[in-house]
Chain A
Amino acid sequence: MIHLQNIEKVYRTNTVETLALNKVSLDVAKGEFLSIMGPSGCGKSTLLNIIGLLDEPSKGEIRIDDQKTDKLSDKQLANFRNKKLGFIFQSYHLINDLQVLDNVELPLLYRDTTAKERKRLATEALAKVGLSNRVKHFPSQLSGGQKQRVAIARAIVGNPEIILADEPTGNLDSAMGNEIMDILVQLNQRDGTTIVMVTHDEHMAKKTHRLVRLFDGSQVQ
């Protein structure tokens, strides 16, 4: 499903060159739940951003669903992300000015979907994460756990094949973290969604199929 080969990422300033990822190669199978662990600054998020086509590698090849992505235009990339990928961020990144339902509908705005269909799909996605009673709320009226569930609903509303989660439980207490993790496991098991998750938490990582460890930009496990 996801194929990374010899991925390198170098950040350059006028004086310093930092190697964030060093020849990382990784294959993620369809339906797999993979976690990426490592100390802060080891390149976990950079790797996830590259998989999510939010950032470009300095070197190396990426294939997602057998498609090379390096030659895609801005519009094609946007379309590709919209159809294939869903994102969950540590700090939720909900749009505070929009109600929960509008936040969840967001990925569908960039597809040919009618307003009615968008509403139906968003309501369904919110039901899946147990937030049917919060559709008219604004993000500021929700708890951290609820916000993350809205973020999950937003990630799954477009029915993507891959979900990329960047420390989805990082801002939550353990009870809420476990709730979120259960939703992700369920998504993976019930819907067969491929999930790549960056985490600091060994306990969460143990719930996934496979663990990849990074250290100073290199893959160590």
Chain B
Amino acid sequence: MLKNYFKIAIAVLRRRKFFTFISLFGISFTLTILLVLTAFIDKVVGDTYPDRKRDRSLYVSRISQVGKDATSSGPVSFYFLQHYAGSLKTPVNIAISSGFNGTNTYVNNKKIALNFKFTNAAYWDILEYDFLEGKAFNKQQVDNADKVAVISEDMKKEYFGDMPAVVGQYIEADNVKYRVTGVVKNVPITSYMTYSDIYLPYTVAKDGDYKNNKGLQGGYFGILLANSPSDVDKMHNEYEAMVSRLRPEEKWATNVYSHADTYVKAYVDTGDEKRSGTFIAVTAISIFAFILMLLPTLNLVNINITRIMERSSEIGVRKAFGASSRTLVYQFIVENIILTLLGGIIGVVLSVIALQVINSAHLIANLELTINFTVLFIGLLVCLVFGLLSGVYPAWRMSKLNVVTALKAQ
């Protein structure tokens, strides 16, 4: 039976090449976009390098002062992290780092654009960067404001070329020379809290913001580390309680909000207290995926109706010779699933190509997208849903055809 369905499905696909092309194009193209999107999300959310202790970490990325008519929101200050977050009992350590800043440097008259960020020493204890050579700067070096730096492997390649070992060498950034203490594996720019080309001790920051700014808002992120995953809730509550005691520094503001959240929640935090960033992100992605899938599904439904109605004589004959409506629905759904799976296979191949192209084009710094089994599974599931959605209605409509009418159609 299935072999017969398969034969006829292939024959029908070959008969109407243009329709087949449109159908397959719709499915495979949509699937490619979804697969690339999921690969991207998977990489951004799922890649735990270098913060491998996510299960016992909370991220502080933002603080907001909210008044009746205005809101001021942005990264927290160094002072806030050290003074307020640092006073909490549950965190065993706090990684503090600034957002990354861009600057230019020159090697042999070649301009290199680079990003640098400042960190404390605990940053290197909490985050597990893979050191390709050397090591991180230590607390002593930070306290001494030593001009030392940890650089990324790409930076090493760009600045030092083929030099095999660069620890001890000097790299110039923002008109200052820093001695390289270590080289780490690249972090994609999408992990904005941990990405940089050059990491420097916060004490060497020229603006002195870390000591001058005693306000709540500044240019830093924090990662609070609990002793164990079971302490994370306690740490969260303690942080919330601490923030609730804060007074706004702006006269117009009435409330202060800041949260120590899990990685994903912090990643998508918009600073809007009424709507969670996770909710907005999930809703936006769902609506996008839904519309993306809806269009080819409707297209397929339409094409399928035309296709199936063209075969009304066959429907009549099958019914006359003993096919029940249910058997026919089954047959047409199977045929449609064959079509969508075929589209799915093409989609997967296209996705692999697209990911290769995106990776090799270096569109996003250090982001290496890979196709994985989760993504593949989602893709195939999407195909099946496509097959069912676009096949059920036409098949049901067709199965209700009166035999005599169906036979007369030809």
A interface with B by C-beta (< 8 Å): 49, 52, 54-55, 74-75, 77-79, 81-83, 85-87, 89, 91, 93-95, 97-98, 102, 105-107, 109-111, 115, 154, 158
Contacts and interface: CB of A to CB of B under 8 A. Distances in A.
Contact of B319 (A78, A89, A158): A78
B8 A106 contact: no
Contacts of B8: 95, 97-98
A94 B311 CA distance: 11
Interface string B390-410: 000000000000111001001
> Which size class do B's interface residues fall under?
20 to 34
Given A98-B7, A102-B7, A81 B321 contact: yes
B372 interface: no
Nearest to A84: B322
A54 B322 contact: no
A95 B314 contact: yes
Contacts of B318: 106
A112 B320 CA distance: 18
A214 B150 CA distance: 100
Given A78-B319, A82-B321, A97-B8, A54 B404 contact: yes
Residue of A97, A106, A110, A154 with most partner-chain B CB within 10 A: A97
Given A55-B404, A75-B326, A93-B313, A105 B4 contact: yes
Interface string B1-42: 101100110011001000000000000000000000000000
B323 interface: yes
Contacts of A91: 410
18 contacts: A52-B320, A55-B403, A78-B325, A81-B320, A82-B321, A87-B317, A87-B320, A89-B407, A93-B313, A95-B314, A98-B11, A102-B7, A105-B4, A110-B321, A110-B322, A110-B323, A110-B327, A154-B321
Residue of B12, B322, B325 with most partner-chain A CB within 10 A: B322
Given A75-B324, A82-B322, A98-B8, A93 B404 contact: no
A48 to B, nearest CB: 10
Contact of A109 (B1, B11, B313): B1
A72 to B, nearest CB: 11
A49 B404 contact: yes
Contacts of B402: 55
Contacts of B317: 87, 93-95, 106
A107 B319 CA distance: 9
A77 B4 CA distance: 23
A93 B322 contact: no
Contacts of A55: 402-404
B1 A93 contact: no
